[in-house]
Amino acid sequence: MKKHLDILIRLGFTLQVTKTALAAAVSWWVATLLSQNQYPYFAPLAAILTLQVTVADSLKKASYRITGIILGVVVTVLISHWHTFEISVSTIFMLVLIAMTIPTAMHLNPQIISQVGVSALLVFAFGQHQGYAAGRIIETIIGSGIAIIINAFLFPANTMPAAEQSILVLSQLSSSVLKSSVTLLKATTEKTHTERNNMRDLVKETERCIQTVQLTQQSLKYSPFLMKTRIRLTHITLGMNQLEDVTIQVRDVYRGLFDLRSAKEFQNEYAHIEGVELAIESTASCIAYFGKVIIESSKESLSTLMTNIEGARSIQSRCLSDIRNVESLSILRDLGGILTDLSRILRELEEAALALTKNNG
């Protein structure tokens, strides 16, 4: 069965396409029952244009379309009431100009503005037929409503698996970038360039993860069969927010290491500060495991993370003890900043993990 579905998808018969076709057909059928128009083609047209990937996007698209159509009809009816025009180049220009100027002056959404222009033109061209303007509004409402209903109840979009995978990828990348940043302490020009590229990749991945979680939030809105998934989304969102803060701390550690490596006294003091490498690596391991805690939110995963955090704190404490022999104030300042950032990462991971597990009940 799955093999056959994969073949259909490769041929273009995706779920979204199928739902759109179904919405168009049902809209035509319902419109013929509820309206006197024998050919209610605006109903399936509205369904096709309204049905988006998520229910929230479909509602937004429907509101834009219905608002634009109503405004377009009202503008055209008012203009026609004051003066009778013949269809010509100049009248079409003036009609569309006036129709689109009004919503533009009201600072409405661009999609509404274009819909006003389209509706005004169609009503002006065909409005002489009795009931055309009202029928256009009714058919559009029918088509939009059918599209929303089908989108909400028939296999609603659920991007939660993609969001969870994105969280795992970001936590692993954050850990990897932090761990590899210790090479700055023995940096050549080539290694420094590589670490800068790693930081850029981390920023891009963070933005990508945020967008994926936001898309998931949109996909779960107004979906009646995804209530439990929406509750699950609160954990993912909390974890994403914490990971975003962690990536900022990782970048701060990178800058601290770069400054530390650039200090004149670095080589002379290195024997007293080399313990920072192990402190960074142990903290990086905690970040990687935090991604698993976000997804699982179990007592077992929390216990493992807490053990790792305590181990990383012990290493940081030993590193702090070792730097008592450092004489350079600039080295002390930079190293102190790095250890502070590492400590903050552990504290934030701990607080977020406890919150996630508590919310999970």
pLDDT in tens, 57-100: 888 889 999 999 889 888 887 877 666 667 778 888 888 898 89
Per-residue pLDDT, averaged over 282-296, amounts to 89
Residue 261 sits at the vertex; the CA angle it makes with 170 and 344, to the nearest 5 degrees, is 45
Averaged pLDDT score across all residues of the chain: 82
Contacts 24+ apart (CB under 8 A), 212-217: 212/159, 212/162, 212/163, 212/166, 213/163, 213/166, 213/167, 213/237, 213/240, 215/54, 215/159, 215/162, 215/163, 216/159, 216/160, 216/162, 216/163
Report d(CA 130, CA 361) in Å as an integer.
62
Report d(CA 281, CA 301) in Å as an integer.
20
> 275-291 burial by CB neighbour count: b if 16+ within 10 A, else e?
bbbebbbbbbbbbbbbb
Label residue 285 by pLDDT band (50, 70, 90).
Answer: very high
Residue type, 343: S
The DSSP line for 42-70 is HHHHHHHHH--SSHHHHHHHHHHHHHHHH
Return the number of other C-beta atoms located less than 10 Å from residue 161's C-beta.
9
pLDDT at 128: 53
Q: Considering only residues 74 and 274, tell me which one the structure prediction assigns the higher pLDDT.
A: 74
Label residue 15 by pLDDT band (50, 70, 90).
Answer: confident
| Contact of 175 with 248, CB cutoff 8 Å | no
Place of tokens 């409402």: 141
Structure tokens at 353: 């993990």
Q: Is the pLDDT of residue 157 over 90?
A: no
Report d(CA 190, CA 197) in Å as an integer.
11
Q: Is the pLDDT of residue 48 over 70?
A: yes
Q: Is the pLDDT of residue 129 over 60?
A: no
Label residue 104 by pLDDT band (50, 70, 90).
Answer: very high
Structure tokens at 78: 């008012």
| Closest alpha carbon to 275 in 328, 332, 317 | 317
